[in-house]
Amino acid sequence: MIANTTYARLKEKLSEVVPDAELRYKAELADEILRLKEERNAVILAHNYMEPALFYSVPDFVGDSLELSRKAADCEQDVIVFCGVRFMAETAKILSPQKTVLLPAKKAGCSLAASITAEDVRQLKAQFPGVPVVTYVNTYADVKAECDICCTSSNAAAVVESLGTDTVIFLPDEYLAKNTAKETGKHIIFPTRRMPNQVDGSVDYQLIGWHGRCEVHEQFTVEDIENARRQFPDVLVLAHPECSPEVVEASDFSGSTTAMVKYVKEHKAERYLILTECAMGDNIAAENPDKEMLRMCSIRCPHMNEITLEDTRDALLYDRYVIEVPEDIRERAYRSVKRMIEISAKD
Ligand code: 13P
Ligand code: SF4
């Protein structure tokens, strides 16, 4: 009975996006997960990049990194199943240490989170004493513990501006740093370990960056946009701020994953090029059947794609994979994440 209901709901939403046989199979899996979720008193938080059948069936909340952090801080259930990548599940644990946080895939990494270590941050702080450190939420807990405040793609400029300083260390995404520098009017420098132990006094405003990149968004090019515009002159182009500044500049809009979802919903154009993980294009297409989403599905996030309905069921069945953050690191990381949430709440 429930299977029919879930199947019917998925069919209505996704018949143009997912083959029928897959929908039937996934609706059954989804029902099993919904039952287990009740039994375990669990909440499922899912990032906008989750594949359509998962995205539209089992989560209690979907959203971008900031929205999911807020939910992780507020939810009342005993267990949080995080359908996203490890740094997101870690952030949930940092905010809700008393809860069991489960990540359905053992690894589900992120090229940005892997690009920097806590020791790298300590060295930068020694190189630029007194300069506040902002780290993108796409980092692991020990890196967050070394910083003053975190940011996400939806609040990076606001976080930088909230510090009220001429100079900010902004880690680890080179492109987000460059896009944020442009938005805030700050210059950017990329230090090496050989740099003198001083900030150049001739520069009034600056971000000190790092060479991390998202392995997905760095692949989109201005040529991709030009090709789409040649073929579809009316297309509106949306790029995530992890794309290069050139790609962002050539686009019509840049924002967090949820900001992109809202943009399509609120605009009347018939066609959109979505420069981010392809599954999100599917999810937006399902929500906007009268609009066409152009998406480049050869470029995928292998980490987000590790999260499946099967693994989500197994996470609840076998209590895996439990996310732990050592308490001394968690306490320090908590301050940075909490500070970000407080600043964003004022928006
Ligand atoms: P959002 O915070 O915009 O959802 O971005 C998360 C992410 O990992 C994008 O690649
Ligand atoms: Fe990390 Fe990029 Fe994947 Fe987002 S899309 S999780 S930034 S690798």
Percent with pLDDT over 70 in the chain: 94
140 within a domain of the structure (yes/no): yes
Asked whether 256 lines ligand 2 (CB < 6 A), one says: no
Is the residue at 298 inside a domain? no
pLDDT at 328: 98
pLDDT at residue 66 in the model? 94
242 plus 154 within the same structural domain = no
The answer on 101 and 118 residing in a single domain is: no
pLDDT for the residue 346:
52
In a domain, residue 198? The reply is yes
Asked if residue 224 belongs to a domain, the reply is yes
Angle at 141 between CA 207 and CA 90, to 5 degrees: 125
Instruction: Sheet containing 61-63: give its strands across.
Output: 61-63, 42-47, 79-83, 100-102
Max distance between CA atoms of the chain, in angstroms, equals 70
Question: How far, in Å, is the centroid of ligand 2 from the Cα of 301?
Answer: 6
Residue 64: the pLDDT is 97
Which residue stretches of the chain have pLDDT < 70? 1-4, 192-205, 346-347
Q: Does 299 fall in a domain?
A: no
**How close is the Cα of 152 to the center of ligand 2, in Å?**
12
- Do 192 and 331 lie in a common domain? yes
271 and 177 in one domain?
no
Domain that holds residue 234: 217-293
The predicted pLDDT at position 201 comes to: 47
Same domain as 161, residue 119:
yes
254 in a structural domain: yes
Together in a domain, 332 and 206: yes
CATH number of domain containing 141: 3.40.50.10800
Residue closest via CA to ligand 1's atom 8 equals 138
282 and 245 co-located in one domain: yes
Number of domains present in the structure of the chain? 3
Residue 259 lies in a domain: yes
64 lines ligand 1 (CB under 6 A): yes
Q: How far is the CA of 136 from the centre of ligand 1 (A)?
A: 10
DSSP 145-156: HTSSEEE-TTTH
Q: Are residues 332 and 205 in the same domain?
A: yes
Q: How far apart are CA 113 and CA 211, in angstroms?
A: 12
If asked whether residues 17 and 94 sit together in one domain, one would say yes
pTM: 0.94
